[in-house]
Amino acid sequence: MDIKQVCIKASEASIRMAELDGTAKNKALSALADALLEHKDRLIAANAVDLKRSEEEKLAAPLLKRLKFDEKKINDVVEGIRSLMKLEEPVGNTLLSTMLDEGLELYKVTCPIGVIGIIFESRPDALVQISTLCLKSGNSVLLKGGREAVETNRALTEIIDGATIAAGLPKGWITLLESRDDVNEMLKMDEYIDLVIPRGSNEFVRYIMDNSRIPVMGHADGICHVYVDKDADLDMAVKITVDSKTQYVAVCNAAETLLVHEAAAAKFLPVLKAELDKKNVEIYGDEGTRKIIPVKAASDSDWATEYLDYTISIKLVPDADKAIEHINTYGSGHTDSIVTSNRQTALKFMNLVDSGNVFWNASTRFSDGFKYGFGAEVGISTSKLHARGPVGLDGLLSYKYMLVGNGQTVDDYANDRKSFKHVKLNKKIQDV
Amino acid sequence: MDIKQVCIKASEASIRMAELDGTAKNKALSALADALLEHKDRLIAANAVDLKRSEEEKLAAPLLKRLKFDEKKINDVVEGIRSLMKLEEPVGNTLLSTMLDEGLELYKVTCPIGVIGIIFESRPDALVQISTLCLKSGNSVLLKGGREAVETNRALTEIIDGATIAAGLPKGWITLLESRDDVNEMLKMDEYIDLVIPRGSNEFVRYIMDNSRIPVMGHADGICHVYVDKDADLDMAVKITVDSKTQYVAVCNAAETLLVHEAAAAKFLPVLKAELDKKNVEIYGDEGTRKIIPVKAASDSDWATEYLDYTISIKLVPDADKAIEHINTYGSGHTDSIVTSNRQTALKFMNLVDSGNVFWNASTRFSDGFKYGFGAEVGISTSKLHARGPVGLDGLLSYKYMLVGNGQTVDDYANDRKSFKHVKLNKKIQDV
């Protein structure tokens, strides 16, 4: 497969995708959902081949579980598609309208980005979620899934491609890439691909960022913090810390470091330790912490470590400012939570902590597109440009300025024969 | 000057900048405006040194004109600052509020990006515009101006720094870099700098993009098109083409290529040529064009050339679709205009041309932040991510998600003891 040709086709298709209205896109989504149900047996059979091979290759049990694509998962993704169909049409929305002068109207209108390259891990359901999000937002998509899911992904892509093109989508809007080499070729195609979204390990995301001129949306690390303030309700602080650390340790929004106000530490830490001990959490503490509870000594590198495990580091701080400073120094801009009953301290924390998700009296584990009610999630971004935090359909959109006149020239304004009025309108581009 | 130390200070200052409310920022802007007026003589004297040196170095007349910073220009920038003060406070605006569950509320709130690096050309007024835009949006800024304006820029930065820090802004929020080496060092500081905005030649912008991991907002080329449809009013088409090409040839939103529907060419081209001849515009035409008017032959490279001069290339097309295809192939995604009285063709053109600014019956020269009424312009972006088209204050903002709870844990939701409600609110973060 010649990747450049694939990219050119995807780019040409993206122009046609931009033209589709909500009805046409929902028709394609509906056909796609029906086709997945219709070809259920084929999908399960393809997945069985992947599962058998992966078992023989001794893939770890949690990964095998993620790889499995059974009737329940097929029903789940179909249900996901039906919810996606109910979301408002994201393209062609007028975000702003201004009368620059009589008969000269400016509109800022949402539009697709163009061609999105997505590299994802083993879950075949991710392929369906991502490609349907791209469809709904009018983008072409190049997909690269994990090697272990190759048969399932191939069957899925064939079914999606067949059903959506029969429903009127342009050929080339979706393509599955199958080899690592294809990915490396893809990263060079900055002329055709507008955005790459890698979903995988930290090293992999960094590799992508360092090896492509294409903008990358993704997050490299998830070093999340809980800060227990002097004005915290200590029972609440224990609950939130335990949930943030242990509810699911292998994910990016799990807490890695706990910061505790010196004035709260003596009461709080022993109670917390008893709870963390029940979950076998290994604790590394700074000097102040170790004066109160018997734990291992934390080194400086602990503050910059994403354990992704039943491990936590604890540091005492003299005030909220020092907590904020620590987070802005060592954090990864992902998710950080303060526990306090002091509104002013909470607002200060949320304003000054430079992270995509800043929480007051809630577990860090809440930062997630589904929990936020976005209906679907493309990924989580720790960049501060374009999209930040959990990214839904919005992250797959751009906008353009449309100017509607009746023959205006700049010369008239440059020579004061006419002047700009700049009156805010409340008009949609569809009404011109 | 150690650039890393400068960046660390700018980064620390950016946290304090994020904390300032609109009143504090306007107070600093007001002090800055007063200080510029107060130190008028010092500025004019510094500028005289730059002008004398540049004259001796035989700087071209248009560049000398841009370099000049006299009483009128000082008054203009001060007036600009007063208008900026009147704009709504951009930081802390709630873009979205959702009740995830009783007592668990999500807010999407605008915030500064952090540290912006700006590299600009010779105009000293650009320094004031850019730094005040960064101030209003709560960002720290590293500035690098042209060598020829070094004395003026140094005096300006000292006055801005002095006045704003006396008015309560954090030290280090603004720094002027003076050497090329400093810029190269700055481009390596992706840990501290969030965004680079280069304003200069194409080669320079590309150089920055290729030599930094920091996201770049800018445009590389301005290959803009006018397409004259078969349903065009031909008088209007002549006016718009002449204005788009000749009103100011050295700028990025001047037209470089004219596309003409075959059915309109015979009537339109001779009239247009007569008008372009009056302005001494050199014309390169494709075969079809040259059957109608006597002009030089265009080669394929003409379609990809930004002349920035009194030169235009002309090509005939059989329909609007081919015009759109040509623009999406050779254009630079900047500004493209259709002249037609057919609404359907115009909407199709605006939807399918993949450019930041798509116009109907108006000169390409209108794409500009001031003309759009943004009050001020950071630059023009041809990227489709983050900010596109003329970029005002909005392009200097990010957002964060603030979640306000009362002790919620994800475990309760994962185990169905609680469930998400996702009710849209109309609440501001300031009201929690």
Nearest CB to B243: which of A359, A372, A409?
A: A409
CATH for A3-217+386-396 is 3.40.605.10
Task: Round to whole Å and give the CA distance between A367 and A370.
Answer: 9
> What's the pLDDT band for A168 if we cut at 50, 70, 90?
very high
The answer to whether A402 contacts B343, with C-beta atoms less than 8 Å apart, is no
pLDDT above 70: residue B404:
yes
What number is the average pLDDT over the span A53-62? 91
Chain B residues closer than 8 Å to A92 by CB: 351
Q: What average pLDDT does chain A have?
A: 94
Task: Round to whole Å and give the CA distance between B247 and A97.
Answer: 26
Per-residue model confidence (pLDDT) at position A1: 66
Q: State pLDDT tens for residues B321-346.
A: 999 999 999 999 999 999 999 999 99
Nearest CB to A352: which of B18, B350, B410?
A: B18
Task: Round to whole Å and give the CA distance between A276 and A303.
Answer: 19
Among the ranges given (A103-117, A215-229, B294-308, B309-323), the one the predictor scored with the smallest mean pLDDT: A215-229
Residue B234's CB is within 10 A of a number of other CB atoms, namely 15
Q: What average pLDDT does chain B have?
A: 94
CA-based nearest residue to B362, from B224, B223, B226, B222: B226
Interface test mutation site (partner A, options B97, B358, B385, max chain A beta carbons within 10 A): B385
Nearest CB to B400: which of A243, A355, A407?
A: A355
Say which residue the tokens 């007036």 belong to: B79
The answer to whether B98 contacts A363, with C-beta atoms less than 8 Å apart, is no
Q: Show Cβ contacts of residue A415 under 8 Å, excluding neighbours closer than 6 positions.
A: none
- Quote the tokens at residue A409: 């020239």
The answer to whether B371 contacts A398, with C-beta atoms less than 8 Å apart, is no
Q: Which residues of B336-352 are buried (b: 16+ CB within 10 A; e: fewer)?
A: bbbbbebeebbbbbbbb
Domain boundaries, chain A: 3-217+386-396, 224-366
The answer to whether A373 contacts B410, with C-beta atoms less than 8 Å apart, is no
pLDDT above 70: residue B1:
no
Interface test mutation site (partner B, options A371, A399, A415, A429, max chain B beta carbons within 10 A): A371
Interface test mutation site (partner A, options B398, B413, B423, B428, max chain A beta carbons within 10 A): B398
Nearest CB to B400: which of A15, A217, A358?
A: A358
CATH for A224-366 is 3.40.309.10
The answer to whether B410 contacts A324, with C-beta atoms less than 8 Å apart, is no
Chain A residues closer than 8 Å to B250 by CB: none
Pairing type for strands A357-362 and A379-381 reads unpaired
For residue A358, the chain B residue with the least C-alpha distance is: B402
Pairing type for strands B357-362 and B335-339 reads parallel
Q: Determine the distance in angstroms separating the CA of B89 from the nearest CA of chain A, rounded to an integer.
A: 15
- Quote the tokens at residue A27: 């028709």
Q: State pLDDT tens for residues A390-415.
A: 998 989 999 999 999 999 999 999 99
pLDDT above 90: residue B56:
yes
Chain B residues closer than 8 Å to A354 by CB: 14-15, 18, 114
Per-residue model confidence (pLDDT) at position B342: 98
Task: Round to whole Å and give the CA distance between B219 and B204.
Answer: 11
Interface test mutation site (partner B, options A109, A226, A234, A403, max chain B beta carbons within 10 A): A403
Among the ranges given (A78-87, A195-204, B241-250, B269-278), the one the predictor scored with the smallest mean pLDDT: A195-204
The answer to whether B360 contacts A402, with C-beta atoms less than 8 Å apart, is yes
Residue B294 burial (C-beta neighbours within 10 Å; 0-12, 13-18, 19+): exposed
- CATH topology identical between A3-217+386-396 and A224-366: no
DSSP B69: -
Chain A residues closer than 8 Å to B19 by CB: 348, 351-352
Q: State pLDDT tens for residues B87-143.
A: 999 999 999 999 999 999 999 999 999 999 998 877 898 899 989 999 999 999 999
Residue A310's CB is within 10 A of a number of other CB atoms, namely 15
What number is the average pLDDT over the span B15-35? 96
Residue B156 CA from chain centroid, whole number: 22
For residue A352, the chain B residue with the least C-alpha distance is: B15
Q: Show Cβ contacts of residue B60 under 8 Å, excluding neighbours closer than 6 positions.
A: none
The answer to whether A403 contacts B243, with C-beta atoms less than 8 Å apart, is no
If you count residue pairs, one on A and one on B, with CB atoms under 8 Å apart, how many are there? Answer: 237
Q: In this predicted complex, what is the ipTM?
A: 0.91
The answer to whether A348 contacts B114, with C-beta atoms less than 8 Å apart, is no
What number is the average pLDDT over the span A177-199? 89
Show the CA angle centred on residue B327, arms to residues B325 and B328, nearest 5°. 65
Chain B residues closer than 8 Å to A19 by CB: 348, 351-352
What number is the average pLDDT over the span B201-211? 80
Q: State pLDDT tens for residues B372-398.
A: 988 778 888 988 999 999 998 989 999
DSSP three-state, residue A123:
coil
Q: Compare B119 and A235 and report the one with higher pLDDT.
A: A235
Report the DSSP beta bridge partners of residue A118: A143, A197
Q: Show Cβ contacts of residue B321 under 8 Å, excluding neighbours closer than 6 positions.
A: none
Chain B residues closer than 8 Å to A346 by CB: 404
Interface test mutation site (partner B, options A400, A406, A415, A428, max chain B beta carbons within 10 A): A400
Nearest CB to B247: which of A215, A411, A420?
A: A411
Nearest CB to A363: which of B235, B239, B409?
A: B409
> What's the pLDDT band for B320 if we cut at 50, 70, 90?
very high
The answer to whether A352 contacts B15, with C-beta atoms less than 8 Å apart, is yes
> What's the pLDDT band for B242 if we cut at 50, 70, 90?
very high
Task: Provide the percentage of residues in chain A whose pLDDT is more than 70.
Answer: 99
The answer to whether B404 contacts A362, with C-beta atoms less than 8 Å apart, is yes
